[in-house]
C-alpha cells in the first residue's frame, strides 16, 4: 500500500514525457513547420466555415447549423493537442504535467465523442431531407436541432469525467515515458502498474455508446437514403442528393476508420507504433480536411464564400 502511494506521488510530481517524436533533432524543425502550417489551416478553414454560416442567410438551415458546430468543434479538438506538439517540436522537451495530461485526455475524449454524435445528427438531417422532404421543416425544427447539438456537447461530460478520474487514480510504473504524441487512453493503460481490466471494459463501453452506435445509425440512415435516391426518376435529382451527402460521408469515413483501428485493434509493440501515427489522422488531418471537403463538394458553400470574399 505504501509502495503504491509512493508511486502515485512520484507520478504526480514528475508527470509524463511524450515520446511520439522519434525523429532526429535535424528533423524537429521540419515537424514544427508542418504542424504549424496544419494548425493555421485548421484554424483558418474552420473559422471561415463558422463565419460564412453565421453571416450568410442562405446557409441558415439545419444542415449548416450542424456544420457550423462541427467546424467549431474541430478548432477546439486540434487546439487540445497541436499547441503542445508545436512546443515539443520547437523545444525538444516532451514533458507534460500529471494534471496537464489528465486535462488533455479529458478534452480529447470528450470532443471526440461529441464529434461522433454530431456526425450522427448530420446523418439524421440528411435522412429527413431526402427520405421525407415534405415534412423536413417540421421534423428538423429549430428546437430539435438545438437539442441535438446541446445534447451532443453535454451528454459526454459526466462519462468522460468518470473515465478520466478512473484512469488517473491508477498507480503508474516508474517509467513515465508515454509512447504517443499526446495523452490518450491506450498508451496510458500500458504504463499502469495494476489490473486494468475494469478500465478496458469502461473504454469499450464508451466506444460502443459514443462510436459504434452512432456509426451504426449513420450506416442505417444512408442505406435508407440510397434506397430513396435510387427511386428518384430524375438523374439531376439523384446527382444533387448524392452530392449533398458525399461530403458528410467523406468526413465520416476519415474519422471512424482511423479511430476504429486505433481503439479496437489488438495492441502490440508494432501496433502501438502504427496507432500513434493513425491518431494523427483523426485528431489533425481530418479537422484540416473537413472545411476543404465541404467547400469543394458543396455548391452553396462555394457561393457563400465568393459572396463573403468578393462582395464589398
Q: Is the pLDDT of residue 209 over 70?
A: yes
Residue 57: predicted pLDDT: 83
Phi, psi (rounded to 5 degrees) for 95: -70, 140
Residue 19 CA to residue 113 CA, distance in Å, equals 25
Give the whole-angstrom CA distance, residue 164 versus residue 104.
Answer: 10
Domain 2-310 classification at class level: mainly alpha
Least confidently predicted of 117-126, 136-145, 180-189, 296-305: 296-305
How confident is the model at residue 2, as a pLDDT? 46
The yes-or-no verdict on residue 211 having pLDDT over 70 is: yes
Alpha helix ranges (H) inside 92-211: 98-131, 136-139, 142-154, 156-168, 185-191, 197-207
Q: Is residue 97 scored above 60 in pLDDT?
A: yes
pLDDT of res. 117: 95
Highest mean pLDDT among 131-135, 281-285, 290-294: 131-135
Summarised one tens digit per residue, pLDDT across range 54-96 is: 888 888 889 889 989 999 999 999 999 999 888 888 887 788 8
Q: Are 199 and 166 in contact (CB under 8 A)?
A: yes
How many other C-beta atoms are found inside a 10 Å radius of the C-beta of residue 160? Answer: 21
Closest among 109, 25, 20, 47 to 288, alpha carbons compared: 47
Give the pLDDT confidence score for residue 21 in this predicted structure. Answer: 65
Is the pLDDT at 232 greater than 80? The verdict is no
d(CA 161, CA 92): 31
| C-beta neighbour count of 221 within 10 angstroms | 21
State the average pLDDT over residues 290-310.
75
Residue 165 has pLDDT above 60, yes or no: yes
Q: φ and ψ at 141, to 5 degrees? A: -70, 160
Give 279's pLDDT tier (boundaries 50, 70, 90).
confident
What is the per-residue DSSP string for 237-260?
HHHHHHHHHHHHHHHHHHHHHHHH
- What pLDDT does 235 receive? 72
**C-beta atoms surrounding 121 within 10 Å:** 25
Domain segments of the chain: what residues? 2-310
Q: How many Å apart are CA 226 and CA 249, to the nearest integer?
A: 12
Query: Which grid coordinates belong to 38?
Result: 496544419
To which residue does cell 486505433 refer?
A: 262
pLDDT digit string, tens, across residues 5-32: 544 554 555 688 888 666 556 567 777 8
Quote the pLDDT of residue 233. 75
pTM of the model: 0.87
DSSP category for residue 169 = T
Query: How long is the chain?
Result: 312
Lowest mean pLDDT among 158-162, 189-193, 262-266: 262-266
The confidence score (pLDDT) of residue 297 equals: 63
Q: What is the mean pLDDT of residues 254-261?
A: 76
pLDDT at 137 exceeding the cut of 70: yes
Q: Average pLDDT in the 138-164 region?
A: 94
Residue written as cell 469499450?
204
Amino acid at each position: 500500500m505504501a509502495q503504491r502511494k509512493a508511486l502515485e506521488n512520484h507520478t504526480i510530481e514528475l508527470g509524463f514525457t511524450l515520446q511520439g517524436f522519434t525523429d532526429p533533432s535535424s528533423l524537429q524543425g521540419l515537424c514544427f513547420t508542418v504542424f504549424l502550417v496544419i494548425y493555421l489551416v485548421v484554424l483558418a478553414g474552420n473559422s471561415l466555415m463558422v463565419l460564412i454560416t453565421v453571416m450568410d442567410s442562405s446557409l441558415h438551415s439545419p444542415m449548416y447549423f450542424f456544420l457550423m458546430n462541427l467546424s467549431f468543434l474541430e478548432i477546439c479538438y486540434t487546439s487540445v493537442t497541436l499547441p503542445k506538439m508545436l512546443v515539443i517540436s520547437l523545444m525538444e522537451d516532451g514533458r507534460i504535467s500529471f494534471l496537464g495530461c489528465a486535462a488533455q485526455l479529458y478534452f480529447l475524449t470528450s470532443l471526440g465523442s461529441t464529434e461522433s454524435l454530431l456526425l450522427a445528427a448530420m446523418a439524421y438531417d440528411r435522412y429527413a431531407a431526402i427520405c421525407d422532404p415534405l415534412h423536413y421543416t417540421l421534423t428538423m425544427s429549430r428546437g430539435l436541432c438545438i437539442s441535438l447539438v446541446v445534447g451532443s456537447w453535454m451528454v459526454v461530460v459526466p462519462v468522460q469525467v468518470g473515465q478520466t478520474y478512473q484512469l488517473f487514480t491508477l498507480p503508474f510504473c516508474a517509467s513515465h515515458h508515454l509512447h504517443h504524441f499526446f495523452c490518450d487512453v491506450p498508451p496510458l493503460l500500458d504504463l499502469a502498474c495494476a489490473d486494468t481490466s475494469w478500465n478496458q471494459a469502461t473504454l469499450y463501453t464508451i466506444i460502443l455508446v459514443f462510436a459504434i452506435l452512432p456509426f451504426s445509425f449513420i450506416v442505417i440512415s444512408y442505406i435508407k437514403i440510397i434506397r430513396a435516391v435510387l427511386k428518384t426518376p430524375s438523374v439531376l435529382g439523384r446527382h444533387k442528393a448524392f452530392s449533398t451527402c458525399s461530403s458528410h460521408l467523406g468526413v465520416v469515413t476519415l474519422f471512424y476508420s482511423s479511430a476504429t483501428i486505433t481503439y479496437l485493434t489488438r495492441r502490440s509493440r508494432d501496433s502501438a507504433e502504427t496507432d500513434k501515427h493513425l491518431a494523427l489522422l483523426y485528431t489533425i488531418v481530418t479537422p484540416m480536411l473537413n472545411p476543404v471537403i465541404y467547400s469543394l463538394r458543396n455548391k452553396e458553400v462555394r457561393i457563400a464564400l465568393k459572396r463573403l470574399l468578393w462582395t464589398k
